[in-house]
Amino acid sequence: MTFDFFKTKDFYSDLFEKHQLIDRYHRIYYKDTLLTNYNTVTSIQKQDIITLYPDYLTSQFLEGYCAKTIYQKAGFAIDLHAFSSFQDYLKTLKSSFRKVIVRSVNRLEACFNISYTMYYGHINKGVYTQLMGALFNMIECRFQERDGRNKVLKQWNAYLELAYQNILDKKASLFVIYSDDEPIEISLNFHCENIIYSAISSYKLEYSKFSLGNIEIYKQLEWCMANGIKLFDMGYGSFDYKLRWSNYTYAFHAHIISKSNSLILEGLAQYFKYKFKLINYLISNNLNNKFYNILDYFKDKNSTASSIDYVFENTQDINVEVHKSLNLNTPSFNFLKRPLFDFLYKHQEHKDHVAVYPNPNKANSYVIKGKSSIVFLKMNS
């Protein structure tokens, strides 16, 4: 949410995504590491208003300049400095959560032909275009189902344009979970020295039971530990998964940079201080999303969330194989994938050993048969 009378610059986006900062920042450090992975651009402003500066960085300003610092919001990260292996970090998580994650990984790999790929320093342009298109569709479907808004989609062309070369330059990466050759979860990350910023991620909704978001973090942290990454930054937004995974909470600040202290500088500092307080209040009460959802409703009244309800009914073994099984790769049967995958999760069956048959005795009813389980599936819509 923005309602500024002043032009601001997003430090977080500029550093991680665009790899450029204004020259008012003379040096930037992460712990003892001097950051050099960015270009400098000359500022012509009398006062530079910089938002979303993560305080795990320390900065030296250009000689003759000073800055007012204002708290903006909280950020969440996983600090890996103290750990010699991923398993050492995993042991610090709550036992119940750790068991859930390990079970999710094992269940996913038991039910599908799963592989994991990190595209970092190399990617075919056609593969890149395909994966970014798949990620866009995943995000769009997810927020249509939630009947919510996502600002990433409105900025998609910018991400599409900048990420490819950044991957080749090892300034970005795409992490992908594949089932056979199909991407089912994709995460776009940006890199700065030994920091990864997990920028955008989503998954195919039919795999919801399998906690793909948590599996993605699990597998990416394995990669981070093997490749010298010391901070896995999940950004702002106090979502439940961030609270569970993070071991480090930091602050985003705004910097108002000027040559000297003045009444104008003090006035700007007070304005942004109360602006951020108001925004945080609106977010904590979910009023900002309600406001934007109302606007989106009037912009596109034809956009509605859709979902399909279904129930499973136990049945005795019946001879369904006299009927031809359905080809779920046919688009007209896509609606059966989520209930099928829920069946796989519950009964720990492998996709390759399961078939779906029409139930000739009931409309909107099917039979799912695996190696050791069989159920009726009734679609309610």
Average pLDDT of the residues in 203-207: 96
- C-alpha closest to that of 25 among 36, 16, 179: 36
Average pLDDT of the residues in 305-327: 72
Tell me the C-alpha to C-alpha distance, in Å, between residue 38 and each of 52, 75, 167, 373: 17, 22, 15, 56
Query: pTM for this structure?
Result: 0.87
Average pLDDT of the residues in 343-364: 90
- 2 pLDDT band (50/70/90 cuts)? very low
Is residue 84 scored above 50 in pLDDT? Answer: yes
pLDDT digits (tens, 9 = 90+) for 231-245: 999 999 888 999 999
| DSSP bridge pairs for 200 | 188
pLDDT of residue 301: 44
Residue spans in the chain of domains classed CATH 3.40.630.30: 82-229
Handedness of CA 116, 122, 124, 125 (dihedral sign): positive
* Contact present, 86 and 222 (Cβ < 8 Å): yes
pLDDT of residue 152: 86
pLDDT of residue 181: 95
Average pLDDT of the residues in 45-61: 91
| DSSP bridge pairs for 66 | 258
Average pLDDT of the residues in 254-278: 78
Counting Cβ atoms within 10 Å, is residue 58 exposed (0-12), middle (13-18) or buried (19+)?
exposed
Average pLDDT of the residues in 305-317: 69
Quote the CA–CA distance of 239 and 217 in Å, as a whole number: 14
Q: In terms of CATH, what superfamily is 82-229?
A: Gcn5-related N-acetyltransferase (GNAT) (3.40.630.30)
pLDDT digits (tens, 9 = 90+) for 142-185: 887 665 566 788 899 999 999 999 999 999 999 999 999 999 99
pLDDT of residue 289: 55
pLDDT of residue 4: 47
DSSP tag of 380: -
Average pLDDT of the residues in 116-137: 98
**Among the ranges given (166-180, 207-221, 282-296), the one the predictor scored with the smallest mean pLDDT:** 282-296
Is residue 380 scored above 70 in pLDDT? Answer: yes
Average pLDDT of the residues in 40-58: 88
pLDDT greater at residue 281 or residue 3: 281
**Among the ranges given (46-55, 287-296, 363-372), the one the predictor scored with the smallest mean pLDDT:** 287-296
DSSP 290-309: HHHHHHHHHH-TT-------
Is residue 297 scored above 60 in pLDDT? Answer: no
pLDDT greater at residue 100 or residue 267: 100
Quote the CA–CA distance of 243 and 249 in Å, as a whole number: 9
Quote the CA–CA distance of 197 and 77 in Å, as a whole number: 9
The mean pLDDT of the chain is 87
Quote the CA–CA distance of 371 and 355 in Å, as a whole number: 10
- C-alpha closest to that of 248 among 25, 13, 55: 55
Is residue 324 scored above 60 in pLDDT? Answer: yes
Average pLDDT of the residues in 295-314: 59
Query: For residue 149, what are the contacts with CB-CB under 8 A and spacing of at least 6?
Result: 143, 289, 292, 293, 296
